[in-house]
Amino acid sequence: MGADETLRVIDSRWRDTCKVLLKGDVGPISDYSEWLTRDIIPINHRKSETSGKQVVSAPTDYADGSKWISFDEVDFGKKFVPLGINEIKDIDSLVEALSERFYYTGNIVFGKSSHIENSSNINDSHYIYEIGRTGNSKYLAYCRMGRLCEDCFGCDAIGESSYCIRCNRCFKNTRCFETWMSQHCSDCHFSYGLINCKNCLFSFNVRNRVRNIGNLELEQSKFLSIREKLLSEMREELEKNKKLPSIIELVGRGKDEKLETPKIGQMEIKHSEPKQDKSKIESEFAKTYSTLFGRKPNGGIDDYSEWLIRHTRPTLERVSAMSGRKLILAPHAQYANLPKDRLLSSEEAEAFGKSVKLDASEVEALSMKNAHEKINKLAFFDIEMADGANDNIIDCAIYADSVNCYKSSVTVYTKNCAYSFWPRSCQYLFGCDSPFDSTFCINCYSCTQLSRCFEIDCCGYCSDLYFGHNCENVHQSMFCFNMKNRRNCIGNAEYSKEDYGRIRGSLLSQIADELEKSKDFKLDIYNIGSRIGSR
């Protein structure tokens, strides 16, 4: 009854959301699952090794041949016998001896949550279906990476938003449909790059606008008339085909339209050129490396780049269609799929949005059938976002109130970070993906409140932990899976403080030796549990 009840409520909320956004019911959400999941990061579905039940994981990098169990099957109180001295003489023999203890865990749900189905990495949420990496939300289906959301479907990277369908990288939006890379907006459809806008359709790169269609502001009655016609067409096409085109698909159907000058009208685009000092980031990487491994790195941070980005989402480089300047592209929320010849910096996009619009006759003639032709001259895409006070940001995409960050994206309230994705309220992080409130970490993923950790996945409130999966409140430990409230453990077995310190020193020396030699360490938290073998 639990799954049936969840799907019943989700379907009801979906129908209500469609009535709000499209002014009518389009049928059950089950008819639209393929369309809603088409453009978002997949989650993996596996079977539990012990029960055969479905196990969902949000991180998807785990090696083939790994063993899986469901979160509700974990015995956090299970005791293990310490290994003998011959079994831990080196890391290879240690991992082989511990292989039967390494079970990855799916269906991970923390905090006060209820009615969670086919989802993982969820906290404090209710009525959640086919969701990955989301917290403090309710009534969501087919979404990824979100916080504080309600009644959202087929969305990726959204925060504090409600009544949204197929929106990407949005913040504090309400009642939006196929609206991308926008914030503080409401009642917007098929739009991109909006800030503080209301009642906009097929609009691009505009700020503080109301009643816009094709970037043209209309008086109230005219706007409502055209809007009603367009929403009716959207609803009819969606109900008939069980899908609508995305913004990218619409633009792809139109003729090629290129910018011919770096000026918009009489406006000169002035690009800011902030001072950058990579040496500060090199220094902080060396400090973090030394904290974790007890010795300095053998080279600069870029020498370790391939190792650091192995399981993160590296930034991409693009070129402005207007000026030819280098742009840094975020590796999530469909940024990588935007047309390469239609990208702009924020300054360029703001000027462009002020100067280019459809005329009244074009807006009058606009329909879902010809939208790809009409919007073609508007559809250029701002791929930058900077908010708050930032300093010494080098080759990063999307950042807010951050300092000393390099080759990272979505850095928020973060200092001293490189080769990372979505570090929030963090310091001294390198090679990390989706860490929150953490410090002095290398290669940690989907974690919160870590200190001095290495190769950690789906853990929280841990310190001095090396190679850990699904651990909570674990300290001074190594190679531990599915464990809570312990310290001085190796392979989930507890050692005396003295014995643990001695073994830890030997193992860290081996890790540091390999890193010094090859700038890489083949063993990581995603392949250590593979029965096929990782080394």
pLDDT at 262: 44
Work out the end-to-end distance of the chain between its first and last CA atoms, rounded to an integer number of angstroms: 45
pLDDT at 86: 78
**Mean pLDDT for the chain overall:** 94
**Residue 224 within any structural domain of the chain:** no
- pLDDT digit string, tens, across residues 109-144: 988 999 999 999 999 999 999 999 999 999 999 999
**Residue 223 within any structural domain of the chain:** no
Q: Final residue of a domain: which of 382, 400, 430?
A: 382
Domain span at 307:
278-315+386-518
In this structure, the number of other CB atoms found within 10 A of the CB of residue 145 comes to 23
Q: Final residue of a domain: which of 382, 406, 434?
A: 382
Q: Are residues 493 and 503 in the same domain?
A: yes
DSSP per position, 332-391: STTGGGS-GGGEE-HHHHHHHHHH----HHHHHH--TTTHHHHGGGT--EE---EES--E
**Residue 242 within any structural domain of the chain:** no
d(CA 53, CA 69): 8
**Residue 127 within any structural domain of the chain:** no
pLDDT band with cut points at 50, 70 and 90 for residue 531 = low
3-class secondary structure per residue, 356-368? CCCCHHHHHHCCC
Q: Final residue of a domain: which of 349, 382, 415?
A: 382
**Residue 469 within any structural domain of the chain:** yes
pLDDT at 267: 57
Cα of 74 vs its chain's centroid, Å: 27
> Minimal CA–CA distance to 134: which of 434, 468, 437, 417?
434
Q: Are residues 255 and 299 in the same domain?
A: no
Name the domain count of the chain. 2
pLDDT at 1: 53
d(CA 272, CA 340): 23
In this structure, the number of other CB atoms found within 10 A of the CB of residue 354 comes to 15
Q: Are residues 354 and 368 in the same domain?
A: yes
pLDDT band with cut points at 50, 70 and 90 for residue 261 = very low
d(CA 164, CA 474): 38
- Average pLDDT of the segment spanning 501-521: 96
SS3 517: helix
d(CA 160, CA 136): 10
pTM here? 0.91
**Residue 40 within any structural domain of the chain:** no
pLDDT band with cut points at 50, 70 and 90 for residue 534 = very low
**Residue 309 within any structural domain of the chain:** yes
**Residue 456 within any structural domain of the chain:** yes
pLDDT at 535: 41
d(CA 433, CA 412): 13
| Pairing of β 391-394 and β 403-406 | parallel
d(CA 18, CA 268): 43
pLDDT band with cut points at 50, 70 and 90 for residue 263 = low
Q: Are residues 323 and 374 in the same domain?
A: yes
pLDDT at 271: 67
Extract long-range pairs of 358-367: CB within 8 Å, 24+ residues apart: 358/213, 358/214, 358/215, 358/216, 359/216, 360/216, 362/214, 363/213, 363/214, 363/216, 363/218, 363/226, 364/226, 366/202, 366/213, 366/214, 366/226, 366/230, 367/229, 367/230, 367/233
Question: Helix, strand, coil % (nearest 5) of the chain?
Answer: 30, 35, 35
**Are 174 and 165 within 8 A, CB to CB?**
no
Q: Are residues 395 and 494 in the same domain?
A: yes
Q: Are residues 428 and 343 in the same domain?
A: no
- pLDDT digit string, tens, across residues 335-363: 999 999 999 999 999 999 999 999 999 99
Residue of higher predicted confidence among 271 and 126: 126
d(CA 424, CA 75): 31
pLDDT band with cut points at 50, 70 and 90 for residue 391 = very high
Q: Are residues 311 and 411 in the same domain?
A: yes
Q: Are residues 294 and 438 in the same domain?
A: yes
Q: Are residues 325 and 393 in the same domain?
A: no
- Average pLDDT of the segment spanning 2-12: 95
Residue 364: both structure tokens together? 């009058």
Q: Are residues 329 and 446 in the same domain?
A: no
- Average pLDDT of the segment spanning 219-234: 98
Which phi and psi (to 5°) does residue 230 adopt? -65, -40
Q: Are residues 305 and 398 in the same domain?
A: yes
**Are 435 and 450 within 8 A, CB to CB?**
yes
> Minimal CA–CA distance to 357: which of 382, 377, 334?
377
d(CA 41, CA 333): 8
- pLDDT digit string, tens, across residues 83-104: 987 788 899 999 999 999 999 9
Q: Are residues 293 and 413 in the same domain?
A: yes
Per the listing, tokens 């799954």 go with 3
**Are 490 and 502 within 8 A, CB to CB?**
no
